[in-house]
Amino acid sequence: MKCSKCQNGNMKIKLGQYGLFAACDKFPNCRNPIKLNKFLYEALKKEGINIYGWDHTCWKCKKTTKVYTYFINKQLKPYMEEYIELGNLGLDSCIPIDEYLKANFSTINKNYSNTQHKYCTSNNCSHCNALIGNHFIVDDPHDIFNDWITSDLDKYIVGKIPFEKLNIQEEDLTGLEEYYIQIGKKKQKKQLLFF
Ligand SMILES: [Zn+2]
Ligand SMILES: [Zn+2]
């Protein structure tokens, strides 16, 4: 994404003293820091949201069922100035995206999770309707683990949600921003421990 100030540099996600933010990569010649939620909004507006899907063996009926999620963190990787390990942002982390998936995929529903003790947006088995927990799909997607670790996930893209189909406001992304700022702070603390 081009810098709106100098029209020359590209906006990149950086890790600063106060966590993650976005700024022009021509710094220090150009200073144009913007808040992360504003940047996330612009990046998703430009790219849409990738939907990833793969085969998963149902824990209950043992049949193969397709599971779906999004990984906003993976989509942000090309925008990073240096590699920053971000937590996974998939199902149940952005309400407007969850709402879209629920409306368009019959096997994605708001389910009560007995392990998380709350309702969450997650996949159901297409054969027996058992809940496939988000832990196995978003946090630790072991079915695609090797590709997930190398970020080579393009082959799992089954579709893209055009941004205009979602009712997202910049404020909706504030929660994501706060989450990432926490990660940024944690990472900085870790770095300090190494020195
Ligand atoms: Zn610039
Ligand atoms: Zn099943």
C-alpha 106 to ligand 2 mean position (Å):
14
| Amino acid sitting at position 2 | K
Expressed in angstroms and rounded, the spacing between residue 80 Cα and the centre of ligand 2 is 39
pLDDT (mean) for 154-158: 95
Task: Return the domain boundaries, the chain.
Answer: 1-47, 48-162
| 3-class state of residue 137 by DSSP | helix
Residue 71 CA to ligand 1 center (angstroms) comes to: 28
pLDDT at 149 over 90: no
CA of 39 relative to ligand 1 center, distance in Å: 14
In terms of C-beta density within 10 A (0-12 exposed, 13-18 middle, 19 or more buried), how is residue 141 classed? buried
As a whole number of angstroms, the distance between CA 172 and CA 176 comes to 8
User: Which ligand does the CA of 10 lie closest to?
Assistant: 1
Kindly indicate the confidence band of residue 35, based on its pLDDT and cuts at 50, 70 and 90. confident
Q: How far is ligand 1, taken at its centre, from the CA of residue 20, in Å?
A: 18
* Strand locations in 131-177 (E): 131-132, 157-161
Measure 29 CA to ligand 1 centroid, in angstroms: 8
Instruction: Give per-residue pLDDT as tens, 90-147.
Output: 998 888 899 999 999 999 999 888 888 889 999 999 999 999 998 899 988 999 999 9
Beta-carbon-side half-sphere exposure of residue 128 (alpha carbons within 13 Å): 11
C-alpha 157 to ligand 2 mean position (Å): 23
Whether residue 184 has pLDDT greater than 70:
no
d(CA 89, CA 193): 27
Ligand at shortest distance from the CA of 67: 2
CA of 30 to the centre of ligand 1 (A): 5
The residue among 78 and 125 whose pLDDT is bigger is: 125
- pTM listed for this prediction: 0.85
Q: Which phi and psi (to 5°) does residue 50 adopt? A: -70, 140
Alpha-carbon Rg for the chain, nearest whole angstrom, is 18
CB atoms within 10 A of CB 122: 26
pLDDT of residue 194: 47
Q: What is the pLDDT of residue 73?
A: 87
* Coil/strand/helix, residue 63: coil
